[in-house]
Amino acid sequence: MTFAKRTLGKGGPEVSALGLGCMGMSEFYGHSDREAALATIAAALEAGITLLDTGDFYGMGHNEVLLAEALRGKRDKAFIQVKFGVQRGPDGSFLGIDARPSSVKTALAYSLRRLETDYVDLYQTGLDPAVPVEETIGAIADLVAQGYVRHVGITNVDADTIRRAHKTHTITALQFEYGLMSRDIEHEVLPVCRELGIGITAYGVLGRGLLTGSKGSGEGDYRNILYPRFQGENLTRNERLAAALAMVARNEGITSAQAAIAWVASRGEDIIPLVGARTVERLAEALASPLQLPAEALFEIEKAVPEDAVGGQRFMVAH
């Protein structure tokens, strides 16, 4: 089956207009079921979803191993983008970012083994304060020249860092949190990406579940620990926004999730929303999102979740 396509970056690869974010299949959002995760990835591929997002620190390698199992015999159907650099302790704690050139190459070596592939389609990391971004991107560029990486990406950095990175090697895509609840990318980062022809893969489209009624609680769910928006008065405020969005969505004959996805998709052909579905049912709901809505509907969706009404910062620790 084919799904709508978009080009990732100016002159970049063609990928599905929605991507599947696999992080929640390994940790952070509560219990995840291996069989359900494998079934979800299989259903995504069958539906024509090609862009699959993972990270070597999701479950300390678990997510890559899971993805490898799901892609056996189907590697050619997938565009795999991998985040690296975040350091984790044995207890799961976050220890910072290591993006030294030697670490870049070591991390990829392990990712290739876990993913059971000889290349990744897009390799990306955030900024290591101790390492000039030119050195990090230069190391990924070496891996491109050697055939281990097809495209270079970067995550969660400011406009100046994007410019410096792009001068070192063409940046195909920036990964950044973007959705009704997280719009700071629009002020400086998005204009620079458009100037340079860099595509966007947007995570947090559903506000990490806030817009669909999640409270971020329960065994194995760390959202109410890691993210201020799930805490105290912030949560109360954000639940009111979710209720307003639900009312607008009902009037349009769609779900809150579909409204939030459609809004992000409407922000430009250079933006690929990532959906973090962990079950076939949630995936089907996301795939049924209208990628085009009338301007009036988009206006009402945006009005339901005003940028200045969101309670709390995006995160307390590096994503």
* SS3 call for 105: helix
Judge contact between 24 and 286, C-beta under 8 A.
no
Judge contact between 3 and 49, C-beta under 8 A.
yes
CA distances from residue 135 to 101, 131, 169, 276 in whole angstroms, order as listed:
6, 7, 11, 31
Residue count (the chain):
319
Measured between alpha carbons, how far is 27 from 278 in angstroms, rounded to an integer?
11
Euclidean distance between the first and final Cα of the chain, in Å? 33
Catalytic residue among 29, 58, 123, 148: 58
Residue carrying structure tokens 């670490």: 103
Looking only at the bridges linking them, the beta strands covering 271-275 and 199-203 are parallel
User: Is 58 annotated in the active site?
Assistant: yes
Per-residue tokens: 275: 């959906």
Measured between alpha carbons, how far is 242 from 240 in angstroms, rounded to an integer?
5
Q: Which sequence positions are flagged as catalytic?
A: 58
